[in-house]
């Protein structure tokens, strides 16, 4: 029996990857109360001898190969007294990103879901998922965090598709290449992609200059293209 006034501390992971047209989040289906049958973010109780990052990595490893997660950072603390049934639960949430070419094995109770079509979630996990996506969108403007969404090598067209899926609006390939090149984020590999079925000029391949987070322009914002008049 829980002692009166006891506060449970959970850790949660918003793990995102970019599908062709929409971000997807990793969720697992709860098998016990509260919220039996609802979908939840990977996570669990903070261990007595763990810090929050060690704890979330331990819980996350039960759902996905951590080698496939390119980036993890603390997102926020969610502490609304009414976010769930008693005992009161405080959650420290993290954002994790999986590259688009990764397909990590997951347990039978776990699946990827489109963020724009979430199933009924446990507690406030839908709100936390959307907060994770907003964090990613913000950081795409002023950091090199795209490295965590992209394969090791990619064409500018492929990278544009990933940015557009994450941001939720059209992205100009020319402008994206110009901006990221000016910031020293992109490096040409000297190789080209294999021609597609329709032929045409082979696309040049690039890689990110670094595969760890770096602020590249603290005042930048990637805005939607202006509508035609």
Element (H, E) at 132: helix 125-142
Q: Are residues 125 and 148 in the same domain?
A: no
Please check whether residue 68 lies inside any domain of the structure: yes
Chain centroid to CA 152: 17
pLDDT per residue as tens digits for the range 204-226? 999 999 999 999 998 887 777 76
Positive or negative, the Cα torsion across 115, 116, 117, 118?
Answer: positive
Q: Are residues 165 and 129 in the same domain?
A: no
10 Å CB burial of residue 98 (0-12, 13-18, 19+) is buried
Q: Are residues 21 and 110 in the same domain?
A: yes
pLDDT per residue as tens digits for the range 37-80? 999 999 999 999 999 999 999 999 999 999 999 999 999 999 99
Positive or negative, the Cα torsion across 37, 40, 45, 49?
Answer: positive
Chain centroid to CA 65: 15
Q: Check whether 125 has a pLDDT greater than 60.
A: yes
Q: Are residues 36 and 111 in the same domain?
A: yes
Residue 2: pLDDT band by 50, 70, 90 thresholds? very low
Return the bridge partners of 97, or none: 16, 71
Whether the Cβ atoms of residue 131 and residue 75 lie closer than 8 Å to each other: yes
**Whole-structure pTM value:** 0.92
Tokens of 94: 């993290």
Count of beta carbons in the 10 Å neighbourhood of residue 166? 25
Tokens of 4: 């009166």
> Which range of residues forms the domain containing residue 75?
7-135
**DSSP-derived pairing of the beta strands 204-208 and 154-155:** antiparallel
Compute the distance between CA of residue 203 and CA of residue 157 in angstroms, rounded to an integer: 8
Annotate 134-165 with b (16+ C-beta within 10 A) or e (fewer): ebbbebbbbbbbbbbbbeeebbbebbbbbbbb
Into how many domains does the chain fold? 2
Q: Are residues 52 and 74 in the same domain?
A: yes
Q: Are residues 128 and 52 in the same domain?
A: yes
CATH number for the domain spanning 108: value is 3.90.79.10
Compute the distance between CA of residue 195 and CA of residue 92 in angstroms, rounded to an integer: 46
Half-sphere exposure of residue 114, counting CA atoms within 13 Å on the CB side? 8
Q: Check residue 200 and give its pLDDT.
A: 72
């Amino acid at each position: 029996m829980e002692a009166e006034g006891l506060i449970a501390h959970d850790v949660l992971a918003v793990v995102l990857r970019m599908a062709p047209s929409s971000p997807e989040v990793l969720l697992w289906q709860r098998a016990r109360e509260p919220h039996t049958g609802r979908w939840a973010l990977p996570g669990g109780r903070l261990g007595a001898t763990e810090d929050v990052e060690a704890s979330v990595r331990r819980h996350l490893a039960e759902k996905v190969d951590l080698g496939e997660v390119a980036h993890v950072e603390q997102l926020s603390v969610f502490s609304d007294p009414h976010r769930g049934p008693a005992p009161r639960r405080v959650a420290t949430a993290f954002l994790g990103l999986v590259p688009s070419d990764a397909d990590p094995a997951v347990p039978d109770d776990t699946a990827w879901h489109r963020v724009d079509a979430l199933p009924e979630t446990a507690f406030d996990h839908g709100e936390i998922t959307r907060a994770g996506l907003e964090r990613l969108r913000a950081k795409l403007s002023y950091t090199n965090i795209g490295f965590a969404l992209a394969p090791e090598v990619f064409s500018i067209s492929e990278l544009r598709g990933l940015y557009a899926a994450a941001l939720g609006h059209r992205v100009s390939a020319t402008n994206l290449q110009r901006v990221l090149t000016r910031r020293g984020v992109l490096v040409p590999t000297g190789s080209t992609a294999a021609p597609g079925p329709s032929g045409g000029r082979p696309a040049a391949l690039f890689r990110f200059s670094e595969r760890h987070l770096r602020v590249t322009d603290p005042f930048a914002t990637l805005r939607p293209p202006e509508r035609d008049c």
